[in-house]
A and B are shown apart, each in its own frame.
Chain A
Amino acid sequence: MLSKFLLLAGIVHSQKNKIMSFLSVRGNKYLPIKVLEGTLLPGTIFVIWLICSRLNILSKDFFPSPGDVVNGFHEVLNDGSFLDNLGMSVIRVLKGFLLGSTVGFVIGITLGMSRFLEKLITPIFNAIRQVPLPAWAPLLVLVSLGEMSRVLFIAIGACYPVVLNTFEGVKNVRNDYVEVGKVFKFNRVQRFFKIILPSSFPSTLTGLRLSLSISWMLVVAAEIFMTSGGGIGEMMWACREYSRMDLVVVCIIAIALVGFTMNFFMQKMEMFFSFWRLTLKQSR
């Protein structure tokens, strides 16, 4: 265990520059300044919260004080089931996200590549897209009472942004590049892998980022609508039933932090893979 950890630490250390440049937000601003900028608003809100609860402006019964929440964190972290629940939710999200975005990617590419299928499928797709996600819950429970229904619920929501952005990406491939392929006598497969896929990939990545963050929001809803599978959403709901508002806030903060981290890494990924498109933005 320890040796593995040391090995990992060694790798992290040796790749420090790469990791740092991957993590850097924009340009090469001094890290503490970036952190300061990022924490200014949350810090202010925290202070206002602290003052309000000290002055009893916020009723203790309805809204916990920062101290309560800190104690709450201690409590749940010692318990262990909190992290289990969080882990369950993360895994559930990843399943739903992978399923939904894969299907979304295939649909997006198909609609983008074929005029015929675009005309055939787009109206139905747009109609289905208008159905609010909670409206799917009863139907999904019919399909399965277990984990599958929650994963499908997330997958449906995760699918839309990937479809739309991938489609948009494929439609916006410059005809100029396609003509280069024609001059080189590319067949359909070559045209797809050498031109359409790489050219539309940045747009797809934007879709994937939106999709993951929607998935993370949906997991909470899925766990509340379709209970008894565990997870952070269900835990939050249970805490509310027991009027443990401090723990509810703990859950909210945890959800926000995980969501933030996911979004951060997706953003990095997007920049990493679409450098050739983002250079204009970065150079500002």
Chain B
Amino acid sequence: MKSTGTLSVTNVSKKFRVNNNEIHVLDNINLSVKAGEFISIIGLSGCGKTTLLRLIVGLESDYEGDILLDGRKLNGPSLDRGIVFQDHRLFPWLTVEKNIGLGIVGKSDTEKKEIVNNHIELVGLKGFEKSYPYQLSGGMSQRAAIARSLVNQPEILLLDEPLGALDALTRMYMHKELERIWKKENITMIMVTHDVEEALYLSDKIVVMSARPGKLQKIIPVPLARPRDRASVEFAEMKEKVLEEFMLHTEPHFTYTI
């Protein structure tokens, strides 16, 4: 068991100020993540999932509460936390290999090349080293973005709807890939998603958020054995459980419309 990569979020609230109006985006969030865990965050659009990831990665500094990584308080971004943004944000003027190597600093050219090659292999982009982002498919771009975020061997990887733009089949393939990468790199992953099946397939725990202001509604452990079988009865039962959580608390009117 790894000891680095634990995260604890305590009493975190976040407000944005827009034209003298305060928008309360996150309210009293408490979450603790063990090293090497895979966590999914599910919630309606606009409930503050991206904001929470941005706080954890250090892109927003003005918040209440504490976020500790391995017991230390965060102070801005740091190389021990990586993020894959909702839009992949590859630099369009760089080739795939240059994009992946972007964040590597303080390494010799040969070391750098080796790291880049390893990560290209890790995400299965061999043969596309010299391609530009506009020449890649959506899934390939996301894989390149994942590789880019892993080069500095972060302890925690944050993924903001990394597969949101993909079709169902590619998505299932990417789930396997993500699981493989997660196991191989042995790191903590926190993924935002809208897809309950995706969350169930990958996560140790599912965090359900409610909106306005964003709160943690429930944390659901997923005790299923890996690799998980989407067709199994247990999987279906878990799915039912998560969906129920959703319907009851966020869209009660659904229960009496039919």
Contact = CB atoms under 8 A, between A and B. Distances in A.
Q: Do A and B bind each other?
A: yes
Contacts of A277: 92
A281 interface: no
A276 B105 contact: no
Contacts of A194: 102
Contacts of A276: 92-93, 132-134
A183 B83 contact: yes
A183 B77 contact: yes
B120 interface: no
Contacts of A201: 93
A180 interface: yes
| Category for how many chain A residues contact B | 10 to 19
B91 A198 contact: yes
A190 interface: yes
A177 B94 CA distance: 12
Interface string A210-233: 000000000000000000000000
Interface string B84-97: 01010101111000
Contact of B59 (A177, A182, A185, A198): A182
A184 B85 contact: no
A63 to B, nearest CB: 51
B103 interface: yes
Looking at A183, A184, A195, A276, which has the most chain B CB atoms within 10 Å of its CB?
A183
Contacts of B103: 183-184
Interface in A256-284: 275-277, 279
Contacts of A279: 134
Contacts of B152: 184
Contacts of B132: 275-276
Nearest to B132: A276
B48 interface: no
B57 A198 contact: no
Interface string A180-198: 1011110000100011001
Contacts of B134: 276, 279
A199 interface: yes
A176 interface: yes
Nearest to B82: A183
A179 interface: yes
A185 B91 contact: no
A276 to B, nearest CB: 4
A179 B59 CA distance: 7
Contacts of B79: 184-185
B93 A185 contact: no
A65 B109 CA distance: 66
Contacts of B87: 176
Contacts of B93: 198-199, 201, 276
A190 B92 contact: no
A277 B59 CA distance: 27
Contacts of A176: 85, 87, 89
B78 interface: yes
Contacts of A185: 77-79, 105
Interface in B165-204: none
A132 to B, nearest CB: 38
Contacts of A275: 132
A176 B59 CA distance: 11
A195 B132 CA distance: 16
Contacts of A182: 58-59, 76-77
A194 B105 CA distance: 12
Contacts of A179: 59, 85, 89
A190 B105 contact: yes
A177 B91 contact: yes
A177 B89 contact: yes
Given A194-B102, A276-B132, A183 B59 contact: yes
Contacts of A184: 77, 79, 102-103, 105, 152
Looking at B57, B77, B82, which has the most chain A CB atoms within 10 Å of its CB?
B77
Contacts of B85: 176, 179-180
A275 B57 CA distance: 33
A194 B98 CA distance: 11
A217 B58 CA distance: 52
A183 B89 CA distance: 12
Interface string B204-242: 000000000000000000000000000000000000000
B258 to A, nearest CB: 42
A258 B211 CA distance: 65
Given A177-B91, A183-B82, A277-B92, 12 more contacts: A176-B85, A179-B59, A180-B91, A180-B102, A182-B58, A184-B79, A184-B102, A184-B105, A185-B77, A199-B93, A275-B132, A276-B132
6 contacts: A180-B91, A182-B59, A183-B57, A183-B83, A276-B93, A279-B134
Q: Which 4 pairs between the two chains have the least Cβ-Cβ distance?
A: A184-B103, A276-B92, A198-B93, A276-B93
